Structure 1
Amino acid sequence: MIKNQVFSEQRFNQKQFSGEEIHDCKFLRCCFDSIDLSETTFVNCIFYDDEMQKGCSFQNAQLKDASFKHCDLTMADFKNIQALGLEIRECKATGADFNGANFMNMITTRSWFCSAFMTKNNFSYANFSKVILEKCELWENRWTGANVRGTNFSGSDLSGGEFTEFDWNDVNITHCDLTNSDLGELNLRKVDLDGVKIDDWQQSHLLEKLGVIVIHSK
Protein backbone atom coordinates (compact mmCIF):
# COMPACT_ATOMS: atom_id res chain seq x y z
CA MET A 1 0.00 0.00 0.00
CA ILE A 2 1.18 3.51 -0.85
CA LYS A 3 0.06 6.27 1.55
CA ASN A 4 0.47 10.00 2.20
CA GLN A 5 2.92 10.76 -0.60
CA VAL A 6 3.15 13.79 -2.88
CA PHE A 7 4.17 13.40 -6.53
CA SER A 8 4.81 16.52 -8.61
CA GLU A 9 5.27 16.73 -12.41
CA GLN A 10 6.22 13.07 -12.67
CA ARG A 11 5.83 10.73 -15.62
CA PHE A 12 5.30 7.23 -14.32
CA ASN A 13 6.64 3.90 -15.54
CA GLN A 14 4.49 1.34 -17.37
CA LYS A 15 3.53 -0.82 -14.38
CA GLN A 16 4.63 1.39 -11.48
CA PHE A 17 1.20 1.40 -9.82
CA SER A 18 -0.52 -1.57 -11.48
CA GLY A 19 -2.65 -3.45 -8.94
CA GLU A 20 -1.57 -1.20 -6.04
CA GLU A 21 -3.73 0.37 -3.32
CA ILE A 22 -2.97 4.09 -3.06
CA HIS A 23 -4.39 6.18 -0.22
CA ASP A 24 -4.29 9.90 0.61
CA CYS A 25 -1.70 10.82 -2.03
CA LYS A 26 -1.34 14.00 -4.10
CA PHE A 27 -0.48 13.90 -7.80
CA LEU A 28 0.25 17.40 -9.08
CA ARG A 29 0.48 17.85 -12.87
CA CYS A 30 1.51 14.20 -13.24
CA CYS A 31 1.44 12.07 -16.40
CA PHE A 32 -0.07 8.58 -16.36
CA ASP A 33 -0.25 8.43 -20.19
CA SER A 34 -0.23 4.92 -21.71
CA ILE A 35 0.63 3.15 -18.43
CA ASP A 36 -1.09 0.07 -16.97
CA LEU A 37 -3.31 0.94 -14.00
CA SER A 38 -5.39 -2.26 -14.19
CA GLU A 39 -6.99 -3.15 -10.85
CA THR A 40 -5.30 -0.16 -9.18
CA THR A 41 -7.27 1.47 -6.35
CA PHE A 42 -6.99 5.17 -5.48
CA VAL A 43 -8.72 6.35 -2.28
CA ASN A 44 -8.86 9.97 -1.06
CA CYS A 45 -6.28 11.03 -3.64
CA ILE A 46 -5.91 14.45 -5.27
CA PHE A 47 -5.09 14.70 -8.97
CA TYR A 48 -5.68 18.44 -9.34
CA ASP A 49 -3.25 21.29 -8.74
CA ASP A 50 -5.57 23.99 -7.44
CA GLU A 51 -2.89 26.68 -7.56
CA MET A 52 -1.98 26.01 -11.21
CA GLN A 53 -5.55 24.95 -12.10
CA LYS A 54 -4.31 21.88 -13.93
CA GLY A 55 -5.28 18.21 -13.70
CA CYS A 56 -3.37 15.02 -14.41
CA SER A 57 -3.23 13.21 -17.75
CA PHE A 58 -4.27 9.57 -18.20
CA GLN A 59 -4.38 9.56 -22.01
CA ASN A 60 -4.38 6.03 -23.52
CA ALA A 61 -3.89 4.45 -20.08
CA GLN A 62 -5.14 0.95 -19.27
CA LEU A 63 -7.74 1.42 -16.51
CA LYS A 64 -9.47 -1.96 -16.64
CA ASP A 65 -11.13 -2.60 -13.26
CA ALA A 66 -9.34 0.41 -11.76
CA SER A 67 -11.03 2.30 -8.93
CA PHE A 68 -11.17 5.93 -7.78
CA LYS A 69 -13.01 6.63 -4.53
CA HIS A 70 -13.39 10.06 -2.85
CA CYS A 71 -10.79 11.54 -5.22
CA ASP A 72 -10.39 14.97 -6.83
CA LEU A 73 -10.22 14.32 -10.58
CA THR A 74 -10.97 17.89 -11.63
CA MET A 75 -9.80 18.57 -15.21
CA ALA A 76 -8.33 15.06 -15.52
CA ASP A 77 -7.57 14.00 -19.10
CA PHE A 78 -8.99 10.50 -19.66
CA LYS A 79 -8.97 10.64 -23.46
CA ASN A 80 -8.79 7.26 -25.18
CA ILE A 81 -8.46 5.21 -21.98
CA GLN A 82 -9.31 1.50 -21.90
CA ALA A 83 -11.86 1.55 -19.09
CA LEU A 84 -13.85 -1.71 -18.96
CA GLY A 85 -15.04 -2.10 -15.36
CA LEU A 86 -13.76 1.33 -14.26
CA GLU A 87 -15.12 2.45 -10.89
CA ILE A 88 -15.40 6.14 -9.98
CA ARG A 89 -17.39 6.81 -6.81
CA GLU A 90 -18.02 10.01 -4.84
CA CYS A 91 -15.36 11.93 -6.77
CA LYS A 92 -15.08 15.49 -8.00
CA ALA A 93 -14.48 15.23 -11.74
CA THR A 94 -15.50 18.70 -12.92
CA GLY A 95 -14.26 19.32 -16.46
CA ALA A 96 -12.75 15.84 -16.83
CA ASP A 97 -12.36 14.72 -20.46
CA PHE A 98 -13.51 11.19 -21.35
CA ASN A 99 -13.50 11.71 -25.11
CA GLY A 100 -12.62 8.41 -26.81
CA ALA A 101 -12.80 6.42 -23.55
CA ASN A 102 -13.64 2.76 -24.19
CA PHE A 103 -15.89 1.03 -21.64
CA MET A 104 -16.73 -1.85 -23.99
CA ASN A 105 -15.79 -5.50 -24.28
CA MET A 106 -16.15 -6.41 -27.95
CA ILE A 107 -17.51 -9.93 -28.48
CA THR A 108 -17.93 -9.62 -32.24
CA THR A 109 -17.91 -6.62 -34.56
CA ARG A 110 -21.65 -6.30 -33.94
CA SER A 111 -22.00 -7.31 -30.30
CA TRP A 112 -20.47 -6.00 -27.09
CA PHE A 113 -21.22 -5.18 -23.49
CA CYS A 114 -20.15 -2.21 -21.37
CA SER A 115 -19.12 -2.09 -17.75
CA ALA A 116 -18.68 1.01 -15.59
CA PHE A 117 -19.54 1.93 -12.01
CA MET A 118 -19.60 5.71 -11.73
CA THR A 119 -21.85 6.95 -8.95
CA LYS A 120 -22.32 10.04 -6.74
CA ASN A 121 -19.77 12.06 -8.73
CA ASN A 122 -19.66 15.67 -9.85
CA PHE A 123 -19.30 15.45 -13.64
CA SER A 124 -20.22 19.10 -14.24
CA TYR A 125 -18.80 20.31 -17.56
CA ALA A 126 -17.09 16.96 -18.17
CA ASN A 127 -16.76 15.71 -21.75
CA PHE A 128 -18.45 12.39 -22.56
CA SER A 129 -19.00 13.18 -26.24
CA LYS A 130 -19.65 10.01 -28.33
CA VAL A 131 -18.81 7.71 -25.39
CA ILE A 132 -20.76 4.42 -25.18
CA LEU A 133 -21.96 3.63 -21.65
CA GLU A 134 -24.76 1.13 -22.17
CA LYS A 135 -26.33 -0.65 -19.17
CA CYS A 136 -23.92 0.88 -16.64
CA GLU A 137 -24.27 2.10 -13.04
CA LEU A 138 -24.36 5.89 -13.36
CA TRP A 139 -26.68 6.91 -10.53
CA GLU A 140 -26.73 10.09 -8.43
CA ASN A 141 -24.23 11.98 -10.56
CA ARG A 142 -24.26 15.71 -11.26
CA TRP A 143 -24.20 16.26 -15.05
CA THR A 144 -24.54 20.06 -15.10
CA GLY A 145 -23.23 21.41 -18.40
CA ALA A 146 -21.63 18.08 -19.39
CA ASN A 147 -20.91 17.53 -23.10
CA VAL A 148 -22.96 14.45 -24.06
CA ARG A 149 -23.23 15.07 -27.80
CA GLY A 150 -23.59 11.62 -29.40
CA THR A 151 -23.28 9.79 -26.06
CA ASN A 152 -25.05 6.44 -25.67
CA PHE A 153 -26.44 5.80 -22.16
CA SER A 154 -29.05 3.26 -23.34
CA GLY A 155 -30.21 0.94 -20.55
CA SER A 156 -28.13 2.62 -17.84
CA ASP A 157 -29.19 3.56 -14.33
CA LEU A 158 -29.15 7.38 -14.30
CA SER A 159 -31.48 7.66 -11.32
CA GLY A 160 -31.04 10.44 -8.79
CA GLY A 161 -29.05 12.53 -11.27
CA GLU A 162 -28.89 16.29 -11.66
CA PHE A 163 -29.33 17.31 -15.31
CA THR A 164 -29.44 21.10 -15.24
CA GLU A 165 -27.84 22.81 -18.27
CA PHE A 166 -27.94 19.38 -19.93
CA ASP A 167 -28.49 18.98 -23.69
CA TRP A 168 -30.94 16.09 -24.13
CA ASN A 169 -31.26 16.51 -27.89
CA ASP A 170 -28.35 14.35 -29.10
CA VAL A 171 -27.96 11.69 -26.41
CA ASN A 172 -29.38 8.15 -26.32
CA ILE A 173 -31.25 7.57 -23.04
CA THR A 174 -33.64 4.84 -24.23
CA HIS A 175 -34.46 2.24 -21.54
CA CYS A 176 -32.66 4.30 -18.87
CA ASP A 177 -33.79 4.68 -15.27
CA LEU A 178 -34.30 8.43 -14.68
CA THR A 179 -36.33 8.15 -11.48
CA ASN A 180 -35.71 10.68 -8.72
CA SER A 181 -33.70 12.90 -11.10
CA ASP A 182 -33.81 16.63 -11.76
CA LEU A 183 -34.48 16.47 -15.51
CA GLY A 184 -33.78 20.13 -16.24
CA GLU A 185 -35.09 21.17 -19.66
CA LEU A 186 -36.00 17.72 -21.00
CA ASN A 187 -38.54 18.20 -23.81
CA LEU A 188 -40.90 15.28 -24.48
CA ARG A 189 -41.35 16.41 -28.08
CA LYS A 190 -37.66 16.16 -28.98
CA VAL A 191 -36.22 13.24 -26.99
CA ASP A 192 -36.73 9.50 -27.59
CA LEU A 193 -37.95 8.18 -24.23
CA ASP A 194 -38.64 4.60 -25.33
CA GLY A 195 -38.46 2.33 -22.27
CA VAL A 196 -37.40 5.16 -19.91
CA LYS A 197 -38.44 4.91 -16.25
CA ILE A 198 -39.67 8.08 -14.50
CA ASP A 199 -41.61 8.90 -11.32
CA ASP A 200 -45.16 10.26 -11.09
CA TRP A 201 -43.94 13.73 -10.10
CA GLN A 202 -41.56 13.80 -13.05
CA GLN A 203 -44.39 12.86 -15.39
CA SER A 204 -46.49 15.76 -14.14
CA HIS A 205 -43.60 18.18 -14.52
CA LEU A 206 -42.83 17.04 -18.08
CA LEU A 207 -46.49 17.19 -19.17
CA GLU A 208 -46.93 20.66 -17.71
CA LYS A 209 -44.15 21.86 -20.01
CA LEU A 210 -46.37 20.75 -22.91
CA GLY A 211 -49.25 22.77 -21.50
CA VAL A 212 -51.06 19.73 -20.10
CA ILE A 213 -52.57 20.30 -16.64
CA VAL A 214 -52.29 17.13 -14.55
CA ILE A 215 -54.98 16.60 -11.93
CA HIS A 216 -54.05 14.22 -9.13
CA SER A 217 -57.07 12.20 -8.02
CA LYS A 218 -57.68 11.90 -4.29
Structure 2
Amino acid sequence: MTLTLDGEKIDRNRFTGAKVENATFHNCDFSGADLTGSEFIGCTFYDRDSRLGCRFSRAQLKDASFKSCDLSMTDFRNVSALSIEIRECRAQGADFRGASFMNMITSRSWFCSAYITKSNLSYANFSKVVLEKCELWENRWNGAQILGANFSGSDLSGGEFASFDWRAADFTHCDLTNSELGELDVRNVDLQGVKLDSEQASQLMERLGILVIG
Protein backbone atom coordinates (compact mmCIF):
# COMPACT_ATOMS: atom_id res chain seq x y z
CA MET A 1 0.00 0.00 0.00
CA THR A 2 1.41 3.37 -0.98
CA LEU A 3 0.89 6.20 1.47
CA THR A 4 -1.83 8.73 0.58
CA LEU A 5 -2.57 11.69 2.85
CA ASP A 6 -5.19 14.34 2.17
CA GLY A 7 -5.49 17.64 4.04
CA GLU A 8 -3.39 16.52 7.01
CA LYS A 9 -1.28 18.59 9.39
CA ILE A 10 2.01 16.68 9.56
CA ASP A 11 3.43 16.20 13.07
CA ARG A 12 6.85 17.75 13.60
CA ASN A 13 8.82 14.48 13.82
CA ARG A 14 6.65 12.15 11.74
CA PHE A 15 9.01 11.98 8.74
CA THR A 16 12.30 13.11 10.31
CA GLY A 17 15.10 11.16 8.58
CA ALA A 18 12.59 8.88 6.86
CA LYS A 19 12.76 7.47 3.33
CA VAL A 20 9.37 7.86 1.63
CA GLU A 21 8.67 6.49 -1.84
CA ASN A 22 5.71 7.01 -4.23
CA ALA A 23 3.53 8.68 -1.60
CA THR A 24 0.80 11.21 -2.37
CA PHE A 25 0.32 14.31 -0.21
CA HIS A 26 -2.68 16.46 -1.19
CA ASN A 27 -3.09 19.83 0.55
CA CYS A 28 -0.91 18.69 3.46
CA ASP A 29 0.71 21.09 5.92
CA PHE A 30 4.36 20.36 6.77
CA SER A 31 4.82 23.82 8.34
CA GLY A 32 7.46 23.71 11.08
CA ALA A 33 8.14 19.99 10.51
CA ASP A 34 11.65 18.62 11.08
CA LEU A 35 12.56 16.89 7.80
CA THR A 36 16.32 16.86 8.45
CA GLY A 37 17.83 14.11 6.30
CA SER A 38 14.42 12.98 5.01
CA GLU A 39 14.28 11.46 1.53
CA PHE A 40 11.24 11.67 -0.76
CA ILE A 41 11.38 9.68 -4.01
CA GLY A 42 8.63 9.72 -6.66
CA CYS A 43 6.22 11.53 -4.33
CA THR A 44 3.44 13.93 -5.29
CA PHE A 45 2.87 17.10 -3.26
CA TYR A 46 0.53 18.76 -5.78
CA ASP A 47 -3.23 18.33 -6.06
CA ARG A 48 -4.23 18.70 -9.70
CA ASP A 49 -7.92 19.15 -8.84
CA SER A 50 -7.46 22.07 -6.46
CA ARG A 51 -4.21 23.23 -8.14
CA LEU A 52 -2.69 23.60 -4.68
CA GLY A 53 0.69 22.47 -3.41
CA CYS A 54 1.68 21.50 0.11
CA ARG A 55 2.93 23.95 2.73
CA PHE A 56 6.47 23.60 4.12
CA SER A 57 6.83 27.11 5.56
CA ARG A 58 9.42 27.32 8.39
CA ALA A 59 10.19 23.60 8.01
CA GLN A 60 13.68 22.25 8.74
CA LEU A 61 14.88 20.81 5.41
CA LYS A 62 18.61 20.51 6.12
CA ASP A 63 20.02 17.62 4.04
CA ALA A 64 16.49 16.76 2.86
CA SER A 65 16.14 15.18 -0.57
CA PHE A 66 13.36 15.30 -3.17
CA LYS A 67 13.92 13.14 -6.26
CA SER A 68 11.45 12.78 -9.16
CA CYS A 69 8.74 14.49 -7.10
CA ASP A 70 5.92 16.86 -8.10
CA LEU A 71 6.48 19.99 -5.99
CA SER A 72 4.40 22.32 -8.16
CA MET A 73 2.97 25.32 -6.25
CA THR A 74 4.68 24.19 -3.04
CA ASP A 75 5.15 26.80 -0.29
CA PHE A 76 8.81 26.68 0.79
CA ARG A 77 8.79 30.14 2.39
CA ASN A 78 11.23 30.65 5.29
CA VAL A 79 12.47 27.05 5.29
CA SER A 80 15.96 26.18 6.55
CA ALA A 81 17.33 24.26 3.59
CA LEU A 82 21.12 23.96 3.84
CA SER A 83 22.32 21.19 1.48
CA ILE A 84 18.80 20.41 0.23
CA GLU A 85 18.54 18.21 -2.88
CA ILE A 86 15.79 18.79 -5.46
CA ARG A 87 16.56 16.60 -8.48
CA GLU A 88 14.45 15.83 -11.57
CA CYS A 89 11.38 17.41 -9.97
CA ARG A 90 8.47 19.51 -11.15
CA ALA A 91 8.48 22.69 -9.08
CA GLN A 92 6.52 25.14 -11.24
CA GLY A 93 5.24 28.05 -9.22
CA ALA A 94 6.97 26.94 -6.01
CA ASP A 95 7.60 29.80 -3.56
CA PHE A 96 11.11 29.95 -2.04
CA ARG A 97 10.93 33.48 -0.60
CA GLY A 98 12.79 33.72 2.69
CA ALA A 99 14.29 30.23 2.28
CA SER A 100 17.81 29.93 3.71
CA PHE A 101 20.40 27.75 1.97
CA MET A 102 23.11 29.32 4.10
CA ASN A 103 25.39 28.24 6.93
CA MET A 104 26.38 31.30 8.95
CA ILE A 105 29.95 30.96 10.25
CA THR A 106 30.12 34.48 11.67
CA SER A 107 27.86 37.49 11.18
CA ARG A 108 29.95 38.40 8.11
CA SER A 109 30.95 35.04 6.67
CA TRP A 110 28.85 32.17 5.39
CA PHE A 111 28.58 29.56 2.70
CA CYS A 112 25.57 28.27 0.79
CA SER A 113 24.81 24.71 -0.24
CA ALA A 114 21.97 23.44 -2.44
CA TYR A 115 21.59 20.88 -5.21
CA ILE A 116 18.65 21.85 -7.43
CA THR A 117 19.15 20.10 -10.77
CA LYS A 118 17.22 18.88 -13.84
CA SER A 119 14.02 20.39 -12.44
CA ASN A 120 11.24 22.55 -13.84
CA LEU A 121 11.35 25.82 -11.89
CA SER A 122 9.15 27.78 -14.29
CA TYR A 123 7.35 30.66 -12.53
CA ALA A 124 8.93 29.73 -9.19
CA ASN A 125 9.63 32.65 -6.83
CA PHE A 126 13.24 33.10 -5.69
CA SER A 127 12.97 36.81 -4.84
CA LYS A 128 15.84 37.92 -2.52
CA VAL A 129 17.05 34.31 -2.10
CA VAL A 130 20.82 33.78 -1.73
CA LEU A 131 22.09 30.75 -3.69
CA GLU A 132 25.82 31.47 -4.01
CA LYS A 133 28.15 28.78 -5.39
CA CYS A 134 25.39 26.15 -5.60
CA GLU A 135 24.67 23.30 -8.01
CA LEU A 136 21.76 24.62 -10.09
CA TRP A 137 22.32 23.01 -13.49
CA GLU A 138 19.93 21.85 -16.25
CA ASN A 139 16.86 23.54 -14.79
CA ARG A 140 14.02 25.33 -16.56
CA TRP A 141 13.81 28.88 -15.21
CA ASN A 142 11.17 30.20 -17.61
CA GLY A 143 9.28 33.09 -16.03
CA ALA A 144 10.91 32.60 -12.62
CA GLN A 145 10.79 35.59 -10.26
CA ILE A 146 14.32 36.47 -9.10
CA LEU A 147 14.21 40.13 -8.03
CA GLY A 148 17.07 40.80 -5.61
CA ALA A 149 18.33 37.20 -5.66
CA ASN A 150 22.03 36.28 -5.57
CA PHE A 151 23.27 33.37 -7.70
CA SER A 152 26.92 34.49 -7.78
CA GLY A 153 29.37 31.68 -8.50
CA SER A 154 26.68 29.03 -9.06
CA ASP A 155 26.59 26.40 -11.80
CA LEU A 156 23.59 27.33 -13.97
CA SER A 157 24.85 25.42 -17.01
CA GLY A 158 22.41 23.70 -19.34
CA GLY A 159 19.53 25.89 -18.15
CA GLU A 160 16.54 27.29 -20.03
CA PHE A 161 15.91 31.00 -19.41
CA ALA A 162 12.90 32.20 -21.43
CA SER A 163 10.86 35.19 -20.15
CA PHE A 164 13.65 35.79 -17.64
CA ASP A 165 14.88 39.15 -16.33
CA TRP A 166 18.66 38.87 -16.10
CA ARG A 167 18.89 42.40 -14.67
CA ALA A 168 16.95 41.46 -11.54
CA ALA A 169 19.62 39.34 -9.80
CA ASP A 170 23.38 38.80 -9.35
CA PHE A 171 24.86 36.29 -11.81
CA THR A 172 28.54 37.24 -11.55
CA HIS A 173 30.99 34.30 -11.80
CA CYS A 174 28.20 31.86 -12.80
CA ASP A 175 28.66 29.00 -15.25
CA LEU A 176 26.09 29.59 -18.00
CA THR A 177 27.56 27.25 -20.63
CA ASN A 178 25.13 25.20 -22.75
CA SER A 179 22.21 27.32 -21.53
CA GLU A 180 19.47 28.91 -23.62
CA LEU A 181 19.97 32.49 -22.47
CA GLY A 182 16.71 34.03 -23.68
CA GLU A 183 16.83 37.84 -23.78
CA LEU A 184 20.19 38.31 -22.04
CA ASP A 185 21.63 41.71 -23.07
CA VAL A 186 25.31 42.17 -22.23
CA ARG A 187 24.83 45.94 -22.12
CA ASN A 188 22.78 45.97 -18.92
CA VAL A 189 23.81 42.83 -17.01
CA ASP A 190 27.02 42.47 -14.96
CA LEU A 191 28.69 39.39 -16.44
CA GLN A 192 31.97 39.62 -14.53
CA GLY A 193 33.58 36.18 -14.27
CA VAL A 194 30.71 34.46 -16.12
CA LYS A 195 31.51 31.32 -18.15
CA LEU A 196 30.01 31.17 -21.65
CA ASP A 197 30.69 28.80 -24.52
CA SER A 198 31.81 30.14 -27.90
CA GLU A 199 28.37 29.75 -29.52
CA GLN A 200 26.72 31.76 -26.74
CA ALA A 201 29.36 34.47 -26.95
CA SER A 202 28.87 34.72 -30.69
CA GLN A 203 25.08 35.07 -30.32
CA LEU A 204 25.46 37.79 -27.68
CA MET A 205 27.89 39.70 -29.88
CA GLU A 206 25.53 39.45 -32.87
CA ARG A 207 22.85 41.25 -30.84
CA LEU A 208 25.29 44.14 -30.57
CA GLY A 209 25.84 44.09 -34.33
CA ILE A 210 29.27 42.47 -33.97
CA LEU A 211 30.07 39.51 -36.22
CA VAL A 212 32.44 36.92 -34.74
CA ILE A 213 34.50 35.16 -37.42
CA GLY A 214 35.88 31.62 -37.03
Q: Deviations over 1:91-126 (max 9, x none)?
A: 000000000000000011110000000000000000
Q: Which residue of 2 aligns with 1:195?
A: 193
Distance 2:170 2:30 in 1: 31
Distance 1:103 1:201 in 2: 33
The two structures, once aligned, show a CA RMSD in angstroms of: 0.6
Please list every run of at least 4 consecutive aligned residues from structure 1 whose deviation after the TM superposition is greater than 2 angstroms: none
Distance 1:29 1:46 in 2: 11
Distance 2:41 2:66 in 1: 6
Q: Deviations over 1:43-86 (max 9, x none)?
A: 00000000111100000000000000000000000000000000
1:30-49 alignment runs, 5 A limit: 30-49=28-47
Q: Percent identity?
A: 59
1:1-218 alignment runs, 5 A limit: 4-216=2-214
Distance 2:83 2:184 in 1: 29
Q: Deviations over 1:151-201 (max 9, x none)?
A: 100000000000011100121011100000000000000000000000000
Q: Could you say what secondary structure the match of 1:169 adopts?
A: helix
The TM-score normalised by the length of structure 1 is 0.97
Distance 2:202 2:132 in 1: 27
Q: Which runs of 5+ in 2 are unaligned?
A: none
The TM-score normalised by the length of structure 2 is 0.99
Q: How many residues get paired?
A: 214
Q: Which runs of 5+ in 1 are unaligned?
A: none
* AA of the residue aligned to 2:192: D
Q: Could you say what secondary structure the match of 2:166 adopts?
A: coil
* AA of the residue aligned to 1:4: T
Q: Deviations over 1:17-60 (max 9, x none)?
A: 00000000000000000110000000000000001111000000
Q: Could you say what secondary structure the match of 1:197 adopts?
A: coil
* AA of the residue aligned to 1:212: I
Offset of residue 213 of structure 1: 1.4
Offset of residue 5 of structure 1: 0.8
Offset of residue 4 of structure 1: 1.3
Distance 1:122 1:209 in 2: 28
* AA of the residue aligned to 1:58: F
* AA of the residue aligned to 1:17: F
Q: Could you say what secondary structure the match of 1:108 adopts?
A: coil
Offset of residue 214 of structure 1: 1.6
